[in-house]
Structure 1
Amino acid sequence: MGSLDLPQASSFKGGSETFLRDVLESILKTYLRKNPMANTVWELIQSVDNEKVSYDHFFFRTFKVDGYGIDSLSSFFMDYGYTIGGRLDFPKKHVHVLWLSPPEIHIPGDGHHLGNGPLPRIVIAELLVDELSPESQEIIRKYLKPEGGKQAILSSTLGSLIWEKPTSNDFNQLAKESEYGAWALFHGYTLNHLAFAVHRLKHRFSDIKCVEEYFKEKGFKLNEDGGDVLKVSEDGLLLQVSLMSEKHEVEFADGVTETITASYIEFVQRLVLPEFKDVPGDEIKEFHRREGLEQASAYHIMESTRFTAQD
């Protein structure tokens, strides 16, 4: 697969940081408004963790067709200081993923709010439409008109589609080959999931095993794809847990009503790298911790929106 020609961006200038944070805050608010379960989880963490909520990453889904792919979102973030962190490929899903590192900024005080705390990584996936069957390609291209991807950020902040709502027949036909594609066709650029940074949280949620136990006790359905709730990277330094997506009853363009998956919540704990094991705990920064994503774990985490998972 050819590399993406994305320019590296410079750091913040002038009021850019404030604008970027406002955009991210709008995306977050839209996500919480549209997903009651996610909002409940967010409020639980905020209440238990003394309002010090911090995010590891925001994840978006796109289509690689007619300017709607990764670059339709990444170009905005890179204009405001984000840089390419790495890429992952998932051939079985026909999906390519790019993750972006946030710019280096001064963080005043001990703030953990999106307003003044560390900025989240941005993770953007794209469905490689050209690799799908002619039938699936036709469905997707019918909705995604040329040049529409330029409105990706606006769509994310508002939670609105920039193409026509699909019919139930198109949605279900596409879902037979790609549930990722069907999800993205209905939900568009809305936030697919947010991941809390467990290593930045305090009290009860400061360890991911405690997070797992807490939400099991509360009756939430956790992602067990791959055989385990806790996804551990090969080096043992990246730990991930996700809740299964909530389901919403929606109406399609043809008036048919069905229940489909919405967005979900993930928790990420990044352990300190071996070379920094002697750094005092109160001096640990993000660069001291395990960076990036893990191929196998990410594959299973994406199953959190599987329509037929663990019913």
Structure 2
Amino acid sequence: MISLYSSSSAIKAFLDRSPFLPLRFPSSSLSVSVSSSVGSPIRLPSAEKRAHSIVAASRGGSMSSNGDDSRQVAESFFRSVLGQMETVYLNRNPTPKSVLELVKSVDDVQLCYDHLAFRTFGIGGYGIDSLASFFLDYGYTQMDELRFPAKKLRALWFAPPDVSAIPGGSGVNGPLPRVFISELLVEQMSSQTQDVIRKYTETWPGGKKYAALSSALGTLPWEKPLSSEFEKLARESEYAAWTLVNGYALNHVTISVHRLKSHLNKIKKLNQFLEEKGFKLNSEGGVLKVSPDGGLLQSSTVADSISFKFSDGVTKSIPCSYIEFAERLVLPQYQNVPETEIQESHRRDGFEVGNADKIFESTNQGQLSRRTG
């Protein structure tokens, strides 16, 4: 990745050319915070919360044609940014690209994303909020918090507004995905690790304002690090090392398995299919990760690696990104609803600490070593 720090003139030119960036919905009327007990199964967000987000968004403009046009322009811009994030992700990661092409070759109707995931440094404004603001301004609703004490991480997930998919659209042009953003609790790390992270995040404090732009352009919002500092972070936290060299890049996209129309719409069958094709799946805690309530089933590939030239001229192989799969089962209270009438709202929503904790391992050396083992 190139550095945003060394491209500030290019950023300014980009912002000056874009007529859509100032077009924002009032985020103060769109955000709803919900807390949950750490480690407990995440409850299904109520329909009232989702409705609140939709109603709040409608207050951002009148029902006039101008208001409708503004929202259409905002949605077009928003999906374009997501599309650029996706393009950067697919260009850097051959495994997700191959998996998506393979699944599409079997299931060519509409491939939907369950969620997009990002990693951040929880310090100096570079944490969850720096990226969440982009999604909140569009109409996403903040939902539950998840804590990972052993990894010194916290995360929030965000529910999308009720926006129709582009007809025939797949991926970022399909139903808008959930968003999962995590952050490293930097103040809980060793002083040496904190010093390294502060060195880069404090060099250009304004970089946090361009989190979404950094992701879409495939750039780092700080200078390229020294290889020795990358190794120092990796010894304490592989998450920290990953974030130092990948920045706000998409950590993974997740295929919504139950929305597939072929025989691959069951995650066990999809896992078997991919393994038979030679793809390595994250084996931490077992290939299939299941929530305690049994309603959320997840798996993922092992992350790709790319060659990275550090600022001291050293070139190393670093972990990049991966692709995840999620099947959300129908909730008990909707078991009698005919299959043809089942909607996403009838299925298990949210995320699960135990599952996510194991999915994080997809970029760790223990899993990456299996690619060549």
Pick one of 26, 29, 45 that aligns with 2:84.
Answer: 26
- Contact kept? 1:83, 1:103, Cα under 8 Å: yes
* Counterpart for residue 75 of structure 1: 133
- Contact kept? 1:238, 1:270, Cα under 8 Å: yes
- Contact kept? 1:8, 1:84, Cα under 8 Å: no
Q: How does 1:212-223 map to 2 (within 5 A)?
A: 212-223=271-282
Q: Which region of structure 1 is more displaced relative to structure 2, 56-65 or 281-290?
A: 281-290
Pick one of 350, 358, 363 that aligns with 1:292.
Answer: 350
* Counterpart for residue 11 of structure 1: 57
More helix by share: 2
- Contact kept? 2:165, 2:176, Cα under 8 Å: no
1-side partners of 2:94 and 2:78: how far apart?
A: 25
* Counterpart for residue 194 of structure 1: 253
Pick one of 148, 154, 165 that aligns with 1:96.
Answer: 154
Letter in structure 1 aligned against 2:196: I
For residues 130-156 of structure 1, what are the alpha-carbon distances to aligned partners after superposition, in whole Å with 9 as ceiling and x for unaligned?
Answer: 111110000001011223110101001
Pick one of 84, 105, 125 that aligns with 2:182.
Answer: 125
1-side partners of 2:352 and 2:261: how far apart?
A: 25
* Counterpart for residue 262 of structure 2: 203
Cα deviation for residue 105 of structure 1 reads 1.9
- Contact kept? 2:92, 2:306, Cα under 8 Å: no
Cα deviation for residue 242 of structure 1 reads 0.6
Change in CA separation of 1:83 and 1:225 when aligned onto 2, cut-off 3 Å:
same
Cα deviation for residue 284 of structure 1 reads 1.3
- Contact kept? 1:11, 1:104, Cα under 8 Å: no
Pick one of 166, 169, 176 that aligns with 2:235.
Answer: 176
Larger radius of gyration: 2
For residues 144-193 of structure 1, what are the alpha-carbon distances to aligned partners after superposition, in whole Å with 9 as ceiling and x for unaligned?
Answer: 12231101010010111110111110000011111100000000000001
- Contact kept? 1:243, 1:266, Cα under 8 Å: yes
Which TM-score applies when normalising by structure 2?
Answer: 0.79
2-side partners of 1:157 and 1:134: how far apart?
A: 32
Change in CA separation of 1:8 and 1:235 when aligned onto 2, cut-off 3 Å:
farther
Structure 1 gaps of 5+ residues are 1-5
Q: Which region of structure 1 is more displaced relative to structure 2, 12-21 or 89-98?
A: 12-21
Letter in structure 2 aligned against 1:162: P
2-side partners of 1:8 and 1:265: how far apart?
A: 33
Structure 2 gaps of 5+ residues are 1-26, 31-55, 59-70
- Contact kept? 2:119, 2:248, Cα under 8 Å: yes
* Counterpart for residue 84 of structure 1: 142
State the superposition RMSD in angstroms. 1.5
Pick one of 126, 135, 148 that aligns with 2:207.
Answer: 148
For residues 47-80 of structure 1, what are the alpha-carbon distances to aligned partners after superposition, in whole Å with 9 as ceiling and x for unaligned?
Answer: 2111521100000000011111000011110010
Moved over 6 A (4+): none
Cα deviation for residue 11 of structure 1 reads 2.6
Cα deviation for residue 115 of structure 1 reads 5.5
2-side partners of 1:61 and 1:99: how far apart?
A: 12
- Contact kept? 2:118, 2:248, Cα under 8 Å: yes
For residues 242-281 of structure 1, what are the alpha-carbon distances to aligned partners after superposition, in whole Å with 9 as ceiling and x for unaligned?
Answer: 1111122222111112112110010000011011111121
For residues 191-211 of structure 1, what are the alpha-carbon distances to aligned partners after superposition, in whole Å with 9 as ceiling and x for unaligned?
Answer: 001110001111132110111
* Counterpart for residue 194 of structure 2: 137
Which TM-score applies when normalising by structure 1?
Answer: 0.94
2-side partners of 1:167 and 1:115: how far apart?
A: 35
2-side partners of 1:216 and 1:114: how far apart?
A: 23
Letter in structure 2 aligned against 1:208: I
Q: Which region of structure 1 is more displaced relative to structure 2, 13-22 or 228-237?
A: 13-22
Identity among equivalent pairs (%): 49
1:306 aligns with 2:352: no
